[in-house]
Structure 1
Amino acid sequence: MRRRWRSSGVLAVLSLMLLLVAPLPAAARETRAAAPVTVPALTDWTPAAGGYTYGRSTRLVADSTGERRVADTLAGDLRAAGHGTPDVVRGGARTGDIVIDVQPSRTALGTDGYELRSGNRLTITAATETGAFYGTRTVLQLLAQGARVPAGRTVDVPRYKERGVGVCACYIHVSLPWLENLVREMAYHKLNQLLLELKVKSENHPEANTWGYYTKDEIRRLVALGKRYHVEIIPEINSPGHMDPWIENRPDLQLTDSDGDKQPSRLDITRPEAFAYYTGLIDEYAEVFPATSWHMGADEYMLGSDFAKYPQILTYARDRYGPDATPQDAFIDFVNRVHAYAAGKGRKLRIWNDGLTGANTVPVTAGTTVEHWLNVAVKPSALLAQGYPVMNAAYALYLVRGGFHSDTKGLYDQSWDPRSFEGEKLASADGVTGAKISLWPDNGRGETENEVAVALWPALRHIAQATWGDPHPDATYAEFTARGTAVGHAPGWRDLTRVPVSDGTYTLRTPGRSFTAELRRTADGYATLRTADGCLEVRGGKLTLNVPLQPGVEAAPQTCDPANTLQRWQLEPVAGGYRLVNAITRMTVSVTDDGRLAQYPPDQRMPAVWHLT
């Protein structure tokens, strides 16, 4: 895009001079301002006379295999959005049809861009299947506002290739329906990367299967959805720090400090067994994640400490790289060995930036993508000058459960774009791959999933706008948020705040146990269960991120507290009744052999099915 403007610089200057001499008439300005409403906004809409009307006779015209895949997905989404199910046909487009046209020769549109023409039919032209798919997202947004689309043309090409959301489901469990909603919303707004730090239940290392993990079948289901909606799901196992979800039961792999104390969150990077363990997990994840990238985290390895407490790391570095080596070189060595291993499996490596302090003599392997979130000594400009791809993952874009929330309005008002890193604003976007928002559960019980969703959607639409097009398409933030209201949620999006039973007093029965409780819906779409002795709550056991995540922890009445998220429950409909799922721990209630109520992952112990009367 930049080279194209340079090659036509004379024309651009002449055009600008003409505009300065003869500004558009008021009528023309009003017509141009009336571009159809979408998120991201269309920036070059050229209006025409007339319009397109979607109706019962509309067909989806698609000839090639890729075109038909796009058309099939669009047909399903039109049905989910209440527009009926149009037939998918080959050739012979007629008035009222929607045409999917993939032309590989249209290289100027890039991988993700498309051209949309609206007249007596809608025609989406792209160089790739992905670009055509994004054109259908625009069509869906337009039809969400009515059956008639104004006539005109747009060429819509993203400014950045990586447009993402990062989710740490790394200690707590985020429900699969919530993640599926996220994938649909991302695709609807033309975001293309879900960077997901999580634990997949391991068959090779059952000692690591502490909650909250996902089964491989659950991940296959999510990945399949991502594939259909052109959202690449990139997995992360953070290392060599933050490894406690994996090695808390493996003291042989834990780093030992100079006092002889084991560090469950730190992998001992000097041990060959530790590297073999980590790369074994990469192989196991490859069974369910076909992503072309691997995220190893590499952040906060020495959080709250320093290398001086671990003299064996300096010894390792000097043995490997000579007497001038630093402890940081041992850390970079681990990163580079993971890079080489991932590359051997056909995957590119991604890391966070905070471990790159400049205290190393060994460089990070070329081609490693650095996600910059923290302002440290090595700035984004230095990383770019060294040739590393850099993604903007600024802390200003974070939403932390029970903590910091991105100021989306403030970012919009200052026309934030992916060149604005923590600690540095770049003059050029060259080398910047894009940006992402990040959802982190530092206080796991600080907010429920449904509360996070409320804060997420404005931030998601903002990052979609800032990474695809003009970061400030409307004069005010209120006008920009009105776009989100106009296009609504993605087809197939599920309202997870719906409680399937009305407020009232019920007797809950399951074999081996019954109790009576007053059920009341909470503002965030869960329910509290108030018994004569208090409100049902999960309490006890070891806390992780302020959450009782141990299976077997009792669910019992406690003093009712409307602010206590551990007293909120989801009633999950199943055959014969409902399962009780805690809103925070995401474990189901089972009845123990002695009649107590306790939480367990649903694949470890059969959840109780409650009949309400």
Structure 2
Amino acid sequence: MTERRRRRMWWPGLLAALALLVTAAPAAPAAPAVAEEPRTPVTVPALTDWSPEPGSYTYGRGTRLVAGTGTGAERRVAGTLAADLRTAGHGTVPVVGGAARAGDIVIDIRPGRSSLGTEGYELHAGRRLSVTGATETGAFYGTRTLLQLLAQGDRVPAGRTVDVPRYRERGVGVCACYVHVSLPWLENLVREMAYHKLNQLLLELKVKSDAHPEANTWGYYTKDEIRRLVALGEKYHVEIIPEINSPGHMDPWIENRPDLQLTDTDGTKQPSGLDITRPEAFAYYKSLMDEYAEVFPGRDWHMGADEYMLGSDFAKYPQVLKYAREKYGPHATPQDAFVDFVNRVHAYADSRGKRLRIWNDGLTGANTVPVAAGTTVEHWLNVAVKPSELIAQGYPLMNAAYALYLVRGGFHTDTEALYDQSWDPRSFEGEKLTSSEGITGAKISLWPDNGRGETENEVAVALWPALRHIAQATWGDPHPDATYAGFTARGTAVGHAPGFRDLTRVAVADGTYTFRTAGRSFTASLRRTADGYVTLRTQDGCLEVRGGKLTLNVPLQPGVEVTPQICDPAATLQRWELEPAGGGGHRLVNAITRMTVSVTDDGRLAQYPPDQRTPAVWHLT
């Protein structure tokens, strides 16, 4: 046997022995397997009790919306969801009855699920996805969560959540009381509120009056415009609460009614103050409430009741003390006359099936007559009567803290700081409460103290983070992410609501154009601004609304001229919206006054509300 052959024969045996040795040797300790923690799906407000399950739900071409037991409420929720899915680019999904199959979305309303309350819901994702509420509103909110999940992809991790709000009032307040806010902007707001489960929009605004045409100076909305907005709110479960501020801040209503203005001992009239001692003044206010009831069917009425004697002394108005003592006795104070007016409004609102809301700063403690029980107090200012006292006295209390304000052209809430502090609705101006008992909720507020300070599109930039923060703080855990950057990433992930309109989009390219309409033409260089409007530079300067009486730094009178002025990039009154008018034409709408440009009989350009004078339609070449 040759040496080579002997090696060939023993080599396989050696390999086998080595293999046996290796197999028998103790293995080196392996690194322990780390199970990946199931992630809670990203939503705003954040889900607090997600229970993961194996697998996922897939939204696809065969998905149907199954209206559980087939009730009208289930079909309404399913119908709204179907429309929003289509708008969001998820295709057309049929609404059906009967049994569900894999891939379907089931809308189920079970009144017996009392633990869900009036707004809570359960969402379960598996082979199919179900949304269950004890009420129509609860089921609707479950569909908002679903839309946010689908905004991040067509696969939803399998699991279950029961999601119930901590506070029943979660809101936004907007003062469109002097400077107009466009209807598309308000419609965007309603959609965004519903998408983030906010349920209450306070609007201090003027509705064009049939009963009092003398009050129809500009910033009003027509009744048809309000009906359209209220219908959108009803569809998206956002209650729109109207406010006519009184007895102070009444100047938008009594500018042309000097007979109703509070008059001092020198005969000087207070144009913003209603004379609460005059029966005619109360009758006037009641008639305005009646008109608003035609277009605002909700249960709440806000009368303001703030800053009535701002910068004034009751001593100069002896008729107020006289009224109080004649009605309440010799120890009555002027403040009692004010509370008496509040209580009369409360009684009238109650007779119309409405609940009264007021601001807190008029409750100075100088009154001997109490505010009527059941009046909701919205606390925004630190005054002598503290939130804890109001709760102890039995008043429903909403947190409308100044720290949550966005003042147009002024103070802006510091959302990042509030988030880092884990702010919640117990933190009032001047007092932090240890319990949430008696607190109805909280809201952010938008006020136009300097009307020309910012355009409404600029306000929106600061609004969306604040809106998401108040939604989080009023619905669930006020600090779901370790950092503010983590929280803002949630907002980026879920995006905007279906149907949200990008109001910064300008359809016309920058360039020099001739603007032509019947009886007038001009040539201007058109340039887009960063906030989504345009400037129009003619050979004589940039077109601007200039003249008239200023209210909050804005010329709000119809008929004020549009003239060339020295171009100033910071001048918001030089910014214009090109509103499509059909047939390739456009209307020119001022970014601040929201009035349209018309051509007067003698050929001048002037701003007018569109229902007072037909807007010019401009064709650009």
Report the TM-score, using the length of structure 1 for normalisation.
Answer: 0.95
User: 2:498 maps to what in 1?
Assistant: 491
User: 1:246 maps to what in 2?
Assistant: 253
Q: In structure 2, what is the Cα distance between the partners aligned to 1:524 and 1:172?
A: 18
Q: Residues 137 and 257 (structure 1 numbering): CA distance in 2 closer, same or farther, change over 3 Å? A: same
User: 2:62 maps to what in 1?
Assistant: 57
The yes-or-no answer on 1:45 pairing with 2:53 is: no
Q: In structure 1, what is the Cα distance between the partners aligned to 2:96 and 2:130?
A: 14
Q: Report the Cα offset of residue 304 of structure 1.
A: 1.0
Counterpart of 1:157, as a letter, is: V
Alignment of 1:266-345 (within 5 A): 266-345=273-352
- List per-residue Cα deviations over 1:158-202 (Å, max 9, x = no partner): 000000000000011100000000000000000000000000000
User: 1:438 maps to what in 2?
Assistant: 445
Q: In structure 1, what is the Cα distance between the partners aligned to 2:601 and 2:440?
A: 55
Q: Report the Cα offset of residue 85 of structure 1.
A: 1.3
Q: Report the Cα offset of residue 124 of structure 1.
A: 0.5
Find 2:164's aligned residue among 157, 161, 165.
157
User: 1:579 maps to what in 2?
Assistant: 587
**Secondary structure of 2:537's match?**
strand
**Structure number with bigger Rg:** 2
Counterpart of 1:37, as a letter, is: V
User: 2:100 maps to what in 1?
Assistant: 93
Q: In structure 2, what is the Cα distance between the partners aligned to 1:353 and 1:27?
A: 55
Q: Report the Cα offset of residue 251 of structure 1.
A: 0.4
Counterpart of 1:454, as a letter, is: V
User: 2:600 maps to what in 1?
Assistant: 592
Q: In structure 2, what is the Cα distance between the partners aligned to 1:575 and 1:498?
A: 17
Q: In structure 2, what is the Cα distance between the partners aligned to 1:184 and 1:259?
A: 51
Q: In structure 2, what is the Cα distance between the partners aligned to 1:245 and 1:330?
A: 23
Q: Residues 142 and 27 (structure 1 numbering): CA distance in 2 closer, same or farther, change over 3 Å? A: farther
Q: Report the Cα offset of residue 221 of structure 1.
A: 0.1
User: 1:173 maps to what in 2?
Assistant: 180
Q: In structure 2, what is the Cα distance between the partners aligned to 1:287 and 1:352?
A: 24
Find 1:136's aligned residue among 135, 140, 143.
143
How many residues end up aligned between the 2 structures? 587
- List per-residue Cα deviations over 1:509-557 (Å, max 9, x = no partner): 0011000000000000000000000000000000011000000000011
Alignment of 1:180-191 (within 5 A): 180-191=187-198
User: 2:37 maps to what in 1?
Assistant: 31
Report the TM-score, using the length of structure 2 for normalisation.
Answer: 0.94
Structure 2: runs of 5+ lacking an equivalent: 1-31
- List per-residue Cα deviations over 1:85-132 (Å, max 9, x = no partner): 100000210000000000000001000000000001110011000000
Q: Residues 499 and 286 (structure 1 numbering): CA distance in 2 closer, same or farther, change over 3 Å? A: same
User: 2:267 maps to what in 1?
Assistant: 260
Aligned-residue sequence identity (percent) comes to 84
Q: In structure 2, what is the Cα distance between the partners aligned to 1:407 and 1:147?
A: 35
**Secondary structure of 2:37's match?**
helix
**Secondary structure of 1:478's match?**
helix
The RMSD of aligned alpha carbons is 0.9
Contact 1:116 1:124 in 2 (8 A): yes
Contact 1:31 1:47 in 2 (8 A): no
Q: Report the Cα offset of residue 306 of structure 1.
A: 2.3
Q: Report the Cα offset of residue 312 of structure 1.
A: 0.7
Q: In structure 1, what is the Cα distance between the partners aligned to 2:317 and 2:60?
A: 70
Alignment of 1:511-526 (within 5 A): 511-526=518-533
Counterpart of 2:41, as a letter, is: P
- List per-residue Cα deviations over 1:313-338 (Å, max 9, x = no partner): 00000000000000000000000000
Q: In structure 1, what is the Cα distance between the partners aligned to 2:73 and 2:81?
A: 13
User: 1:10 maps to what in 2?
Assistant: none
Find 1:366's aligned residue among 373, 377, 387.
373
Q: Report the Cα offset of residue 31 of structure 1.
A: 2.5
The yes-or-no answer on 1:113 pairing with 2:120 is: yes
Structure 1: runs of 5+ lacking an equivalent: 1-24
**Secondary structure of 1:236's match?**
strand
Contact 1:353 1:370 in 2 (8 A): yes
User: 1:473 maps to what in 2?
Assistant: 480
